[in-house]
């Protein structure tokens, strides 16, 4: 495929063979190659550029879309930490500020709880648990006094760690809540625990404070992946989330991943107060919406460009190929014409040589016969004198006929060299008519001459002009029927300021198809009788003589050929103009 393409390219630049047969497939190949070449040199760089752009833009966008997720996750993490820390500190402060005895008093703890509620929202209740794990005092809406917590996880953990933050759970209260607990070691060695319950609504509120946007999700999970706040897509509260939570050791990070529904998402993770992980999930499709718009716009523009390029390339290749084809055809035609002209020229030279050689003996015959005639004429009467004279006259007249033939042959040869001179157009056409008069009279064709004696002399070549006139008149005589009429007029054309000659016949005329081709070489209507070169050569000659040849023809009405020829001044100015 590649080598063929290169071959075609070579063809494109190679000068076609001199005597090349017509190969239409060559032009098809050329057309295809040019089109492919054009398309390749335009589309490849365009596509590569578009590809690079696409890739770079996507990379930049990926980096840029991570940043807002990252900072949002961080913000929420701090908000949570502040919230938790605040409440934890408050409980610690209460446990440190009051003695066991004070807190054991239900009235005291209720007062504290009231003050707490007015300062910090989210507290549901407050209670104190003794060393044995029994709730000894309580402020809140539930009747929990005397409840034993010694077997609960929270009690065990707080004894070890000193602080405790629970997961969301239902507990005795039968609604989701969180427990914050802190241990107090008194100076006398007594140990007791202050325990506060916080409504998870507060967590939800924090999460909901983020303007999430569509199809996004944000929630809190514990270390085990159990949801602490409501999630839109990844499970219910207090159940394990369906999202794959990676181990979060410290800090915040954002990663691209696929969720269980197969959505491409960008997820931000951050640990909150060692016990929780805050998760923010944004589907890529939302973030990348502008990217998708851009992408489709880019593909649209690329597609349109490619279509335009392809159409333009095909058009261009057609144009170029047609131009080449036309140029080659013209050249071929010119070559054929030249060959034909050369052939005619050599025939002409041969004829001229023969004619010249014959002229000399002919001159001798002429003189001998003339002398015989003289002698007989000057001598006295003798038997058969009259007969002798008659025969002799026949010889002389035959020589005269031969003379006109040789002169015509010699004239024919002369037609191939152009030599400009000032010419009387009327005289020139009359000389041509001398050749045709006999045929015209045989066929009863009337030749009418409307020659204007006041036309200026044209600057032209007599022999060439005569050939053109002869061609046109021969065609005219072929076109008219017996008894037809040919009218020749000369006049000065006011429009072009050239001298004009009209050849008007009342013959059968031409149809539009013939009209289109009459100046084409080898086009003939004479079915093998003509060479189809007459008018083509005539056209070439008139062009060389800086004249113009036009015609008008109507079927069954006749044809008029008009030839315009320049005077010397006009000729010079046209020649000069052409040179420039």
Partner 1 sequence: MKNKVLLVDDEPEFVTTLAQRLRLRDYEVKTAMSGEECLEIYSQFNCDIVILDLMMPGMNGLDVLAGLKTENKDIPVILLTGHGSTKEGMEGMKQGAADYLMKPLDIEELTKKMDELLN
Contact residues for partner 1, defined by CB under 8 A: 355-356, 359-360, 362-368, 370-371, 374-375, 378, 399-400, 403, 406-411, 414, 419, 463
CB of 412 to partner 1, least distance (A): 9
CB of 561 to partner 1, least distance (A): 26
**DSSP code, position 21:** P
Picking from 83, 115, 84, 79, the residue whose alpha carbon sits closest to that of residue 97 is 115
Give the bridge partners for 564, in sequence order: 500, 548
Q: Toward partner 1, which CB reaches closer, 359 or 531?
A: 359
Picking from 394, 359, 398, the residue whose alpha carbon sits closest to that of residue 373 is 394
User: Hey, what are 216's tokens?
Assistant: 């996004």
Measure the CA–CA gap between 507 and 403, rounded to whole angstroms.
Answer: 34
Determine how β-strand 177-185 pairs with β-strand 191-199.
Answer: antiparallel
How many other C-beta atoms lie within 10 A of the C-beta of residue 100? 18
Give the bridge partners for 548, in sequence order: 564
Q: Toward partner 1, which CB reaches closer, 350 or 363?
A: 363
CB of 407 to partner 1, least distance (A): 4
> What DSSP element (H or E) covers 252?
strand 252-258
Q: Toward partner 1, which CB reaches closer, 198 or 362?
A: 362
Q: Toward partner 1, which CB reaches closer, 326 or 363?
A: 363
Question: How many CA atoms within 13 Å lie on the side-chain side of 409?
Answer: 19
CB of 431 to partner 1, least distance (A): 11
How many other C-beta atoms lie within 10 A of the C-beta of residue 470? 19
Q: Toward partner 1, which CB reaches closer, 402 or 440?
A: 402
Measure the CA–CA gap between 147 and 172, rounded to whole angstroms.
Answer: 10
Q: Toward partner 1, which CB reaches closer, 53 or 400?
A: 400
Q: Toward partner 1, which CB reaches closer, 67 or 404?
A: 404
Give the bridge partners for 179, in sequence order: 197
Q: Toward partner 1, which CB reaches closer, 312 or 410?
A: 410
Picking from 225, 331, 247, 281, the residue whose alpha carbon sits closest to that of residue 73 is 281
Measure the CA–CA gap between 242 and 232, rounded to whole angstroms.
Answer: 11
Q: Toward partner 1, which CB reaches closer, 374 or 439?
A: 374
CB of 360 to partner 1, least distance (A): 6
Q: Toward partner 1, which CB reaches closer, 322 or 419?
A: 419
Q: Toward partner 1, which CB reaches closer, 201 or 403?
A: 403
Q: Toward partner 1, which CB reaches closer, 23 or 356?
A: 356
* Full DSSP string of 160-228: HHSEEEPPPB-GGGTS-EEEEEEEEE-TTS-EEEEEEEEETHHHHHHHHTS---TT-EEEEEETT-BBS
CB of 364 to partner 1, least distance (A): 5
CB of 355 to partner 1, least distance (A): 7
- What are the φ/ψ torsions at residue 527 (nearest 5 degrees)? 45, 65
CB of 372 to partner 1, least distance (A): 10
CB of 417 to partner 1, least distance (A): 10
CB of 434 to partner 1, least distance (A): 14
CB of 365 to partner 1, least distance (A): 8
CB of 374 to partner 1, least distance (A): 5
User: Hey, what are 322's tokens?
Assistant: 């047609």
CB of 543 to partner 1, least distance (A): 24
Question: How many CA atoms within 13 Å lie on the side-chain side of 91?
Answer: 27
Question: Which residues lie closer than 8 Å to 488 by C-beta, 6 or more apart?
Answer: 429, 433, 447, 448, 449, 450, 451, 501, 502, 503, 504
Handedness of CA 12, 14, 15, 18 (dihedral sign): negative
Q: Toward partner 1, which CB reaches closer, 370 or 530?
A: 370
Q: 181-188: which pairs have CB atoms within 8 A and are 24 or more residues apart?
A: 181/91, 181/129, 181/154, 181/155, 182/88, 182/91, 182/92, 182/95, 182/158, 183/95, 183/158, 183/159, 184/95, 184/96, 184/100, 186/99, 186/100
């Amino acid at each position: 495929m590649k080598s063929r393409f290169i071959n075609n390219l070579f063809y494109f630049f190679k000068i076609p063979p001199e005597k090349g047969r017509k190969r239409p497939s060559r032009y098809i190949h050329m057309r295809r190659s040019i089109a492919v070449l054009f398309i390749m040199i335009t589309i490849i760089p365009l596509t590569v550029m578009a590809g690079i752009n696409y890739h770079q833009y996507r990379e930049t966008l990926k980096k840029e879309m991570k940043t807002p997720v990252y900072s949002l996750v961080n913000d929420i993490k701090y908000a949570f930490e502040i919230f938790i820390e605040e409440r934890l500190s408050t409980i610690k402060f209460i446990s440190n500020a009051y003695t066991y005895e004070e807190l054991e008093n239900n009235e005291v703890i209720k007062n504290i709880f009231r003050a707490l509620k007015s300062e910090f929202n989210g507290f549901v209740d407050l209670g104190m648990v003794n060393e044995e794990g029994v709730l000894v005092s309580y402020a809140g809406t539930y009747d929990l006094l005397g409840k034993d917590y010694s077997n609960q996880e929270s009690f065990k953990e707080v004894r070890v760690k000193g602080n405790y933050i629970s997961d969301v759970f239902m507990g005795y209260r039968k609604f989701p809540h969180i427990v914050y607990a802190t241990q107090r070691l008194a100076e006398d060695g007594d140990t007791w625990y202050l325990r506060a319950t916080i409504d998870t609504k507060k967590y939800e509120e924090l999460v909901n404070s983020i303007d999430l946007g569509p199809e996004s999700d944000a929630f809190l999970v514990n270390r085990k992946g159990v949801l602490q706040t409501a999630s839109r897509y990844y499970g219910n509260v207090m159940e394990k989330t369906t999202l794959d939570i990676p181990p979060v050791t410290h800090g915040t990070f954002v990663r691209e991943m696929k969720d269980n529904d197969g959505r491409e998402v960008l997820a931000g993770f951050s640990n909150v107060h060692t016990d929780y992980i805050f998760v923010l999930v944004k589907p890529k499709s939302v973030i990348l919406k502008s990217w998708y718009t851009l992408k489709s716009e880019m593909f649209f523009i690329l597609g349109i460009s490619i279509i335009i390029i392809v159409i333009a390339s095909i058009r261009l290749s057609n144009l170029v190929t047609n131009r080449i084809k036309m140029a080659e055809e013209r050249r071929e035609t010119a070559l054929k014409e030249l060959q034909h002209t050369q052939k005619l020229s050599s025939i002409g030279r041969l004829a001229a040589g023969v004619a010249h050689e014959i002229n000399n003996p002919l001159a001798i015959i002429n003189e001998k016969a003339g002398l015989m005639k003289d002698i007989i004429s000057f001598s006295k009467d003798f038997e058969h004198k009259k007969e002798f004279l008659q025969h002799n006259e026949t010889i002389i007249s035959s020589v005269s006929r031969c003379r006109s033939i040789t002169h015509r042959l010699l004239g024919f040869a002369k037609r191939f060299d152009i030599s400009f001179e000032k010419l009387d157009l009327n005289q020139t056409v009359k000389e041509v008519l001398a050749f045709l008069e006999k045929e015209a009279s045989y066929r009863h064709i009337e030749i009418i001459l409307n020659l204007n004696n006041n036309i200026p002399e044209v600057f032209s070549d007599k022999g060439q002009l005569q050939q053109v006139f002869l061609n046109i008149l021969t065609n005219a005589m072929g076109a008219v029927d017996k008894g037809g009429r040919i009218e020749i007029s000369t006049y000065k054309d006011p429009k072009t300021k050239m001298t004009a000659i009209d050849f008007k016949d009342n013959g059968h005329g031409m149809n539009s198809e013939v009209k289109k081709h009459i100046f084409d070489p080898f086009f003939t209507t004479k079915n093998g009788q003509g060479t189809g070169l007459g008018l083509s050569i005539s056209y070439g000659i008139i062009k060389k003589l800086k004249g113009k040849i036009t015609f008008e023809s109507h079927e069954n009405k006749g044809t008029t050929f008009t030839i315009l020829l320049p005077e010397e001044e006009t000729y010079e100015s046209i020649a000069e103009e052409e040179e420039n």
